[in-house]
Amino acid sequence: MSTATDVGYFPPGSATRRVIGDPAALIGGFSALFLQALHPRAMAGIDQHSSFPDDFWPRLQRTAEYVTTLAFADTATADRAAARVRGIHRHVRGTDPVTGRAYSADDPDLLRWVHVTEVSSFSAAVRRLGLIDAAEEDRFLAEQVRAGALLGAVDLPASRTEVDAYFAAVRPELVASPVARRAARRLAFAPIPRRLPLPVPVGSLGEMAASVALARPAWTTVAAVAIGLLPPWAKQLYGVPRPPGSGLVTTASLGALRAAFLGVRRATGQPGPPR
């Protein structure tokens, strides 16, 4: 039961609040979407149980709300949010056309894949700007094991070393299939509505998920940086060129986007998320 002093699963001062509360984590979250598409069975669940373009922005907003709820809400609210997601997962099942294998959203392997791609992408983006060090990144990944467990995920990596080992082990299953490439194109050229009256949840992930949807140039920049943040092996699978200096450009662009998001927050009087 939650109390007036219940600060949730991740209290003030936690690495989770520091990472999720930073605008750079949002761009890392978009990068995770490109990464997730490389797993055929995970991609099949998204492709066969989502409506594009109608559900693109609402789905993005729901994901941002869920992540920020777990990071900043009291435990009862977080538990309710996790229960809703588990309920949705029970109905997501089918057959992957790439491998011919059955999938379900509550499969431990797929839960692990989605969890690891998300949390590692969040922390990698924030660390890339020097906003956290290696030790704090490891604390974040260790804390996020609890978040994954709320959805039924098990055997989750709890450090960057373990994350890298996990990716090395799972890479033989990954492929830039036609389904994955179609999803990547959808992400890179997402439908930009004239107006997008989205609610803004607590935390930078949520508030910036709303703001980046305001204009095509903004989304194009965000998508380009998200692709730039992909691990080298993921870029290789997609066939993304890596010209000299591209890493520096991605880092500089990520920093510029973060500064712009913080500027929007100041201009609109939005308070920063509680740390």
Q: Kindly give the confidence (pLDDT) of every residue in the chain, 275 residues in length, as a single tens digit, with 9 standing for 90 and above.
A: 445 578 899 999 999 999 999 999 999 999 999 999 999 999 988 888 877 656 677 778 888 899 999 999 999 999 999 999 999 999 889 998 999 999 898 999 999 999 999 999 999 999 999 999 999 999 999 999 999 999 999 999 999 999 999 999 999 999 999 999 999 998 888 776 655 444 444 455 555 455 544 556 678 888 999 999 999 999 999 999 999 999 999 999 999 999 988 887 788 777 677 77
Give the per-residue pLDDT at 2: 44
- Tokens 């983006």 correspond to 125
Distances (CA, A) of 109 to 125, 173, 188: 24, 11, 27
Dist. CA 260–CA 23, nearest whole Å: 9
Distances (CA, A) of 127 to 123, 206, 269: 6, 20, 26
Contact 207, 269 (CB under 8 A): no
Give the per-residue pLDDT at 202: 44
H helix intervals, 21-155: 23-36, 40-48, 56-72, 75-89, 108-128, 134-150
Contact 160, 138 (CB under 8 A): yes
- Which tokens go with 94? 């089918």
- Our measurement of the distance from residue 8's CA atom to the centroid of its chain's CA atoms, rounded to an integer in Å, reads 20
Give the per-residue pLDDT at 1: 44
Give the per-residue pLDDT at 204: 54
Give the per-residue pLDDT at 206: 53
Measured torsion, CA atoms of residues 233, 141, 122, 181, in degrees rounded to the nearest 10: 40
- For residue 206, the surrounding DSSP H or E stretch is helix 204-211
Give the per-residue pLDDT at 48: 86
Number of H helices and E strands in the chain, helices first, is: 13, 2
pTM: 0.89
Side chain identity at residue 22, one-letter code: D
